[in-house]
Amino acid sequence: MNNRFNLFLIFFSILLSSCSHEKENPVCLAYESQEEEFANVQNVGEKDINLDFSSFIATYQTRGEFSGPLGDLAEHEGLDLFNIDKDLSDIPIHTIAEGVVVYARTGCPSSTQFSDNTILRECGAGWGNHLVIDHGNNIYSRYGHMRFDGVYKRVGDRVNKDEIVGLMGNSGRSEGRHLHLEIGYYSGDFDSCEPSKSFDFVVNPAAYGF
C-alpha cells in the first residue's frame, strides 16, 4: 500500500513538473552551432542614448569605422578595432556599459588569427562567436568575431561597465583578429535558443565616444 502510494506520488510529481515545464520559455545559455546562418543587413539609425559608457573597450592598433547612409542599409554595421600584435595572445574585450547578456553565440572556429578567416565565414551570421548585451530601453551592444574559447559570458549574466566579457578573435566573416562592436536598437525579444537576429537599426559607435 505504502509503495503504491509512493509510486503515485512520484508519478504525480513527474506529471506536475512536465506540465510546468511546458509553460516556461526555454532559455539557452548559449547557441552553440557550427552552421552558417543568415541575418538581415541592419539599417543605419540615430538615437539619443543615455548610458554611463565605458571609456575603454580593447587595445588596438587600427580601426575600421561604421559607415552607411542614415535610414538605409549600413555598409559597415559597427566599429572595428584590430589588434594585429602577434606578440599578444589574449586581447580582452570590455563592455560598453552595464547590462545583461541576452544572446551568446559559440562554436564558430577560425582558420587563422592574423589573416582572412577561411572556415565557416557565415557562422554566427558572419558575426562569428559573439555576445549581445541588453542595456535597457531597447538599446543593445554586440561584440563580434570572438575567439573560439573566448566567449566568457552566458545568457542571463549581469555585466558591469568595463567588465571583461571575452577575447578578440577572428571567427566568422573576419579579416584578422578584431572586435566588431555594434550598438543597436531592437524592439523585439532575443531568443537565446535560435540563430542570431539583426537589430532594428544600428548607430555609429563613434557618435558616443568610441
Residues that bind Zn ion (CB under 5 A): 78, 80, 180
Question: 99 or 172, CB closer to Zn ion?
Answer: 172
Q: How far is CA 95 from the centre of its chain?
A: 11
* Cα–Cα distance, 91 to 49 (Å, whole number): 27
Minimum distance from CB of 58 to Zn ion (Å)? 13
The residue of the chain with the least Cβ separation from Zn ion equals 180
What is the per-residue DSSP string for 98-138? -EEEEEEEE----S-SSS---S-TTBGGGT-EEEEEE-STT
Tell the smallest beta-carbon distance from residue 157 to Zn ion (Å).
Answer: 24
| Residue placing its CB nearer to Zn ion in the complex, 42 or 155 | 42
Nearer to Zn ion, 66 or 186 (CB): 66
User: Taking the complex as a whole, how short is the minimal distance between the CB of residue 7 and Zn ion, in angstroms?
Assistant: 59
Tell me whether residue 98 is exposed, middle or buried, using C-beta atoms within 10 angstroms of its C-beta: 0 to 12, 13 to 18, 19 or more: middle
Task: For Zn ion, give the closer residue by CB, 116 or 189.
Answer: 116
For residue 17, give the H/E element and its range: helix 2-23
| Minimum gap (Å) between residue 145 Cβ and Zn ion | 8
